[in-house]
Amino acid sequence: MIRLFGLVSLLLLTAIPLAATEVTGKTMYAGHYWNEDRSGIFELRLTEQSIKGVTVWGKDPKTDMHNPKPELRDRSLAGIEFLWGFTYEAKKNRWSDGKVYDPDNGKTYEAKMSLEREGTILKMRGFIGVSLFGRTARFERVDAGEFPADMAEPSTE
């Protein structure tokens, strides 16, 4: 009986660091990132089951003029959710099986994301069908103090 209890304890103790690693890995993605030309900022927000990306600031506010739905072409790009549906892969510390909406052409692509350079760069690959047929973009994390004056700097809590 003592051996069984010891084995169960050992299994539980080894599972705790794995669970902690997954939570740490997931939370590393949350935050604010510049778009590629630094004319906009988006936020990655953790949800209960996934992660989503929301546009939070743009130098020149634009509308969603390329949206395939005519009724959405006049909406502002500020506040739209353009990343969704991701699944976290703890072993690879990446998000996959998600979707990314590209407002520059109104198309939605499959996507996966990973972090580089100790979490300062978000690498996202958007593709059709297989990852081989796609494009990779890199987004720099917004540093404290870099937030534009006309955007309220988010709290660090």
3 state DSSP class of 23: helix
Residue 117 is classified by DSSP as G
Residue 64 is classified by DSSP as -
Supply the pTM of this predicted model. Answer: 0.80
CATH class of 2-140: mainly beta
pLDDT 10s digits, 98-140 = 999 999 999 999 999 999 999 999 999 999 988 888 999 999 9
* Whether pLDDT at 22 is above 90: no
Top pLDDT among 8 and 62 is at 62
* Whether pLDDT at 17 is above 80: no
3 state DSSP class of 32: strand
What is the distance between the alpha carbons of residues 38 and 44, in angstroms, rounded to a whole number? 16
3 state DSSP class of 30: coil
